Amino acid sequence: MINVKNRSIDNRLTEAKEELEAVRNYPDEKFAGIIGEIGFKCELCGRCCTKEFNDHVFLLDSDVAAIRAIDPEALVPAPYYEFCDQTGRFYVSGYALKTKADGSCVFLEAGRCKIYGKRPTICRVYPYMLHREADENGCVDWRQLSGLNEHGSYHSEMGGTECEALAEDTKVYEEAFLLQSIGFLETLKVHFKKYGLKHVQRIYDKQMRDFLKGDIDIEVFVYCEGGFEKCTPGKNKIK
């Protein structure tokens, strides 16, 4: 997750557009080749469906309707709300899946996904990814596989067609994710201008502190289908 603290909407828009361009220009053959070299094989450990292993399952707009039809209570605003205006209202670019008290996905049962056929897009492309990220030493580079050497097995034989399909699906996901971020930032910019609002980091920090202490409830505007939906995460109630 990008650290958005103290960065303006415009700066973030520029970065997201540059990243989109870079993802689009990343050579398909190179990506498919890397997938083949890694030869990842899922060992069905189920760890990737836990908060401990993957912080949260971010939902694209295209996933939200399907999850809502299965269980509307499974949707929560994606964590690390990105902005907070001077009235104390938070804004975030989409929904995530709720987790249970033990940190596992609300749909994980006995180590298996109980909505497997309808699982969100990120769960379909995982563990493949294509974005630039800093490693533990701060070195920013392309990352193609999440949790490398921490789950599954490696160096399995994979066919060229399979690798190409995985590369293509992952790129489609990353592009959709960035387009959603861009849509969120552009919509927020218009919303702030229209209502005379602005991001105030001091209010963000105070609201979040008070919320985490349990002193207050908060309102989060979640970006969905080109607009915002008001959500009260403390009550997990979507209005």
The single residue among 12, 89, 98, 119 that binds ligand SF4, judged by CB under 6 A, is: 119
Tell me the backbone φ, ψ of residue 143, rounded to 5 degrees: -120, 130
The C-alpha atoms of residue 87 and residue 84 are separated, in whole angstroms, by 8
Closest CB to ligand SF4 among 78 and 115? 115
Alpha-carbon span 229 to 239, nearest angstrom: 7
Interaction between residue 171 and ligand SF4 (CB under 6 A): no
Q: Which of 76, 78, 123, 222 binds ligand SF4 (CB under 6 A)?
A: 123
Residue 105 in the binding site for ligand SF4 (CB under 6 A): yes
178 half-sphere exposure, CB direction, 13 A CA radius: 22
Greatest Cα pair distance, the chain, in angstroms, is 57
CA 61 to CA 176: how far, in whole Å?
9
CB 119, min distance to ligand SF4, A? 4
Please say which residue, 92 or 97, places its beta carbon nearer to ligand SF4: 97
Closest distance of CB 188 from ligand SF4, Å: 27
Q: Which range binds ligand SF4 by CB under 6 A, 101-109, 143-151, 172-180, 203-211? A: 101-109
Q: Which of 31, 58 has the CB closer to ligand SF4?
A: 58
> What is the rounded CA–CA span in Å between residue 94 and residue 121?
14
Q: 89, 220 in Cβ contact below 8 A?
A: yes
CB 114 within 8 A of CB 120: no
- Restricted to residues 22-61, the positions that interact with ligand SF4 (CB under 6 A) are 49, 57
Q: Which is nearer to ligand SF4, 119 or 199 (CB)?
A: 119
Stretch in the footprint of ligand SF4 (CB under 6 A) among 116-124, 131-139, 200-208, 220-228: 116-124
Whole-Å CA distances, 110 to 43, 47, 97, 170? 15, 12, 18, 27
Sequence-separated (6 or more) residues with CB below 8 Å from residue 24: 171, 175
* Least distance between ligand SF4 and beta carbon 88 (Å): 31
Of 81-89, 106-114, 136-144, 164-172, the segment contacting ligand SF4 by CB under 6 A is: 106-114
Distance linking the first and last C-alpha atoms of the chain: 26
Is residue 115 a contact residue for ligand SF4 (CB under 6 A)? yes
Q: Is 107 in the site for ligand SF4 (CB under 6 A)?
A: yes
For ligand SF4, the closer CB: 128 or 204: 128
Q: Which residues of this protein are in contact with ligand SF4, per CB under 6 A?
A: 49, 57, 97, 105, 107-108, 113, 115, 119-120, 123
